[in-house]
Structure 1
Amino acid sequence: MLWWVIVIITFATVFLTKICLALSGILQRRRAICKLPSPPGAHWLAGHQKQKPLGPGFKWLRDTVKSFPRAYTIWLGPIGMPTLVHPDTIKPLLSSTTGSIKSEIYDLFADWLGEGLAISDGAKWKRNRRLLTGSFHFDVLKTYVPIYNDCIEVLLRKMGDLAAKGQPLNIDHAIGQCTFDIILRTSCSHQSNCQLKEPPINGELDPLSATNVLTGIVQARTTGSPVFLNPLVFRYFSPLYPEWKRASQYLTDFASQLINARKDELDQKMKSGDPLNKPRDFLDTVLMARDEDGTGLTVQEISDEVNTFLFGGHDTTASTLTWVLYELARHPEHQAKVREEVDEILDGRDSDRITSKDMIQMEYMSLVIKEAIRMYTPVILPTRTLTAPYDVDGVTLQTGTSLAINLYQLHHNPTVWGEDHMEFKPSRFLPENFNKMDPFAFSPFSAGPRNCIGQQFALNNIKVFVSRILRRFNLGLVEGDSEPVPNLNVVVKPLKELHLTVALRINNNK
């Protein structure tokens, strides 16, 4: 009997000690967080939620970075989130391993993206990043350019039909379909013909609609009631969970079908004595990737990476393209300069298809794209969990603290970009201007060890889109339409449908 008492007391002591240590750590982190300045008006329980800091238009974010231009704490309910908004406070974090661990907020994607590159950490992330880096080598990216052109041909035909009828283009919808078509073909050589299909009705799903369902639910959990951030509460009490489960299962099954079909094909080639020696697309790369001991990725790891690439390579690119084309329509002078550059590159050719060599010459277009990304940064709020203490303006944040890097505020920080940060000025990125700035002043793809592996893929994609569209069409604003309002739905998109006028060029030198 005495032994049982001793055992129970021992277990109870260990359990209580762990609880005390955990509470002590939480209190230490909270005390440090509270030393940072914080915007006024936080409720003791709801925090800044009632002020809708991520609400449409982002006015709260602009006002806050003007008052707190280096760092501040935002309260998400009773949880404090230190937020970095200046190159001086961001650079040391992204340049070291201290900020290499993604925060728990990324767990919201877990049922969908598993442990793909966007979410995984530590040794798993390093290993998968090494195995997949070859997919984004310059020589591999060149092979995707013809696919960009092929998919954009479909979009151009649709735009031509609208131009002939004098009807505007729903830019966000059309671009979204086209970028999804591209990502399916470049990643998995899968021709879905999604640009030619009518959208699903009566609750049916396709890969694009399922992706949109999931991003909407993630955003609702992020900006809605904090209780639904808890996975168990979300699973058992949220009315959104059944739709989440249905859409995530659909995409998991879709990826599995692509993977299994490709595995069967590779197995058949091996058996016939004609093995594939060089990957043809991203799916080949993940299936053929091997460690030094010959170990490859598991089926689950392959599925996670495919789903991550399908999402990450589509939504952010579509968002950026939407805003680039909008700004070109809003500023005819910049549209004319980009078109002049494209016309000069394509002068004398029988085709307006873009090559990888052409993109190197698109200097002014690069300025326009960068400025649009600065104005409407697609992913605005990456978060990290500290692996070591981190000093922010004399305040030492403790290991285990989750903090945010607000890229929208960084790119609209008047102490960094000037009081005219809301003006569209591509000249900011001319070498003589940008070289005077801290390189971390513009960090849309993050930086350091966890920078975006697919950034060049996206930029090449955007250049081909813009070149092909401006070569054939003049873009304009629809008279009477209100100015689009940027809104966060995992990535930054217009709050309402955005339409642009499209008119065929009379002399396009084709």
Structure 2
Amino acid sequence: MKLHTICPGKALKNKHKKSRLALHMLNQRKANMNVTVNRMSVIAVVLGLPVVFLSGLLQGGPWRVLVVVATALAVAVGIAVAKLLLRHAWFTRRLSCFSTPRTHSWLIGHLGQMRDTEEGLLEVDSLIRTYGHSCCWFLGPFYHMVRVFHPDYTRPLLTASAAITVKDELFYGILRPWLGQSLLLSNGEEWSRRRRLLMPAFHFDILKGYVAVFNTSANTMHSKWMRLLSAGQGDLEMFQHVSLMTLDSLLKCAFSYNSCCQDTSSEYVSAIVELGVLIMERRQRILHHWDWLYWRTAQGKRFQRAADVVHSFTRGVVEQRRTLIHQQRVTESQDATTGDASQKQKRKDFIDIILAQDEEGHGLTDEEVQAETDTFMFAGHDTTASAICWALYNLACHTHFQERCRQEVMELMGDRAEPEIKWTDLSSLPFTTMCIKESLRLHSPVLAVTRQYTQDMDLPGDRTVPQGTICLVSIYGTHHNPTVWSDPLEFDPLRFDPANSRGRSPYAFIPFSSGPRNCIGQRFAMAELQVLVALTLLRFRLSPGVNPDATPDPCATSAPQGIRRLPQVVLRAEGGMWLQLEPLAPPDREGPSA
């Protein structure tokens, strides 16, 4: 057997190697412990700094605390101001391609230069004459706006895809507590969904049935006028009467609701007027755009009370309609069971359509129904009332056009036993329609619409509107632009004669806006305008009246009789619009019975 021997030198070498390895591991543990201790020390120091800092502040007394807090606030405000000034400088540079009217100062900008008065509208006329198509407008360093008032400039803004078009919060945001997230105020896919759901409510087949309602509501108003004239009241304020008439029509057409509001004062109409005044006041006060502050002011509390009145009224209308729809369905189900099919098919109205789609599971929620109802109630009666009043006023001031319209209506009526305008008659009133359109041009109920865009927008003349800029499309300015309309302050219905309209831009006349976000109810409004104007001229001769509580201003040049226009949410007349009415036939013959 062979024996293996171990060399003493090699064993000693292995022993030294193991010792070095153990020493290295020991040193590594010490290093790791030192790192851990150092980290814990740093954490302790960091956590202890606030304690030490606060202890130092408290030892220095309350004044040192106040100084530090004030310094921190000053730094925060300074950073915010710096960001605001940089943003203002960036927008100013990007918008330098647009002419800018003189401002009071860089800080105030054009704040306060455009009042909601007759003088404010005259200032718009001055801007149009000076700049022709557009100008830049700064509301302090906060908001940057481009005003456009020429068809070539309004076209790319109004025809932009709804996917990149946003309703700005500066103007439309203050409507939201009243109108909710409705079609008027929604954006993007939400807007597209609502538009698709509501479009069937304005189909021609639906509108045809509304014409009979317009006749009935007009007859009720005319009967009331006859009674007032018989009592010796010669001058009547149009907005008061016409607003109730359009509300009556709307409630019957959209909700099958008989309110009898023309015979009694309406708290709802009064609340609508007050909301319009408060909205215009709030729009002019930048600090009131801050909700937290506004709702604590006297104006904010008035707004909430008026909005509560409006919401309560529309909520009651919707609930009553829901109950009636349920009862009708029960009756229809019973008739189907018994085989009784003799009941006549009921005309569907606005609320039927939006409620039916809601119940099918792919329509509007209760909150959305409320918002759309509030919006349609306001837009469907207040804007139309404004348009009717101004049409009657313009015809009262131009008797030769008034007489020509009257002859056209009388020829249409012929020997009918009852003077009633039918759906098929509307296309047989060409000159009356021309007068209505000219009134909509001269006195548009809605003076402007505002938009923002999620991308830069190119305008003529190599001008670019940066993303996020507020674009104000001035309907009033476009309709009063002398480069588009000759003698724009004159009432001339012949502008809309087909022979005179050739070659005119379709964006020169935009009383209902245009493009994807145009007014969904414009056919409804035009039909009501035609019926009401035609029947009024058939029964009354109109002339400018006198406001018993005010003296006409001879300096107001907007109309022949010196009436002062009042731009609110819709265009009104300062002190009301007073007309003198003369009956053309005894009530028991051609006119409505009293």
- Same fold at TM > 0.5: yes
Measured at CA, do residues 21 and 449 of structure 1 come closer, stay the same or move farther in structure 2, by a change above 3 Å? Answer: farther
Partners of 1:303 and 1:319 lie apart in 2 by 24
When structure 1 is superposed on structure 2, of 170-179 and 478-487 the one drifting more is 478-487
Q: Do the aligned partners of 1:279 and 1:285 also contact (CA within 8 Å) in 2?
A: no
Look up the match of 2:317. 258
Partner residue in 2 for 1:154: 220
* Aligned residues with identical type, % of pairs: 31
Q: Which residue of 1 aligns with 2:174?
A: 108
Q: Secondary structure at the match of 1:403?
A: strand
* Residues 266-285 of structure 1 mapped to structure 2, 5 A cutoff: 266-271=325-330, 273=333, 280-285=348-353
Alpha-carbon deviations, 1:33-53, whole Å to 9, x = none?
344211224433333233334
2:136 corresponds, among 60, 73, 76, to 73
Matched, 1:366 2:427: no
Matched, 1:170 2:233: no
Question: Which segments of 5 or more consecutive residues in structure 2 lack a partner in the other structure?
Answer: 1-39, 47-78, 337-343, 553-561
Deviation (angstroms), 1:27: 5.0
Cα shift at 1:174: 1.1
8 Å Cα contact 2:206/2:347 also seen in 1: no
The residue type equivalent to 2:526 in the other structure is: L
CA distance in 2, matches of 1:477, 1:172: 14
Question: What SS does the corresponding residue of 1:413 show, helix, strand or coil?
Answer: coil
Matching of residue 349 in structure 1 with residue 423 in structure 2: no
Question: Are 2:567 and 1:488 equivalent residues in the alignment?
Answer: yes
Q: How do residues 103-252 of structure 1 correspond to structure 2 at under 5 angstroms?
A: 103-104=168-169, 105-164=171-230, 165=232, 167-198=234-265, 206-222=267-283, 224-236=284-296, 238-252=297-311
Aligned amino acid, residue 472 of structure 2 = A
- Alpha-carbon distance in structure 2 between the residues aligned to 1:301 and 1:36: 40
Label 1:479 to 1:123 Cα distance change in 2 as closer, same or farther (>3 A). closer
Aligned residues of 2:111 and 2:139 also touching (Cα < 8 A): yes
The Cα offsets for residues 127-177 of structure 1, whole Å up to 9 and x where unpaired, read as 111011011111101111111111111111122123332511111211111
Letter in 2 for 1:247: A
Does residue 368 of structure 2 align to residue 301 of structure 1?
yes
- Tell me which moved more, 274-283 or 47-56: 274-283
What amino acid maps onto 1:426 in structure 2? Answer: P
* Structure 1 portions without partners, runs of 5+: 6-16, 200-205
Cα displacement string for residues 236-283 of structure 1 (whole angstroms, at most 9, x for unaligned residues): 3x3211111111122222222222232233334445526999762111
Per-residue deviation, 1:24: 6.7
CA contact (8 A) 1:77 1:226 kept: no
**What letter matches 1:109 in structure 2?**
L
Tell me how far 1:497 sits from its aligned partner. 1.9
Letter in 1 for 2:355: L
AA at the equivalent of 2:248: D
- Please give the alpha-carbon distance, in whole angstroms, between the structure 2 residues aligned to 1:196 and 1:316: 21
CA distance in 2, matches of 1:182, 1:234: 35
Q: Which amino acid aligns with 1:462?
A: L
* 1:24-103 → structure 2 map (5 Å cutoff): 28-57=90-119, 58-78=121-141, 79-97=143-161, 100-103=165-168
TM-score normalised by structure 2 residue count:
0.77
> Helix, strand or coil for the counterpart of 2:516?
helix
The AA in structure 1 aligned to 2:276 is T
Q: TM-score, normalised by structure 1?
A: 0.90
Deviates more, 1:128-137 or 1:389-398: 389-398
Q: Count the aligned residue pairs.
A: 491
Q: CA deviation at 1:217?
A: 0.8
Q: CA deviation at 1:122?
A: 0.9
RMSD value over aligned CA atoms?
2.8
Structure 1 SS opposite 2:490 = coil
Q: Distance in 2 between matches of 1:183 and 1:216?
A: 22
User: In structure 2, what residue type is equivalent to 1:91?
Assistant: R
Q: Quick check: 1:54–1:60 contact (8 Å CA) kept in 2?
A: no
Native 8 Å contact 1:100 1:449 kept in 2: no
Is 2:383–2:445's contact at 8 Å kept on the other side of the alignment? yes
Residue 507 of structure 2 aligns to a residue whose secondary structure is: helix
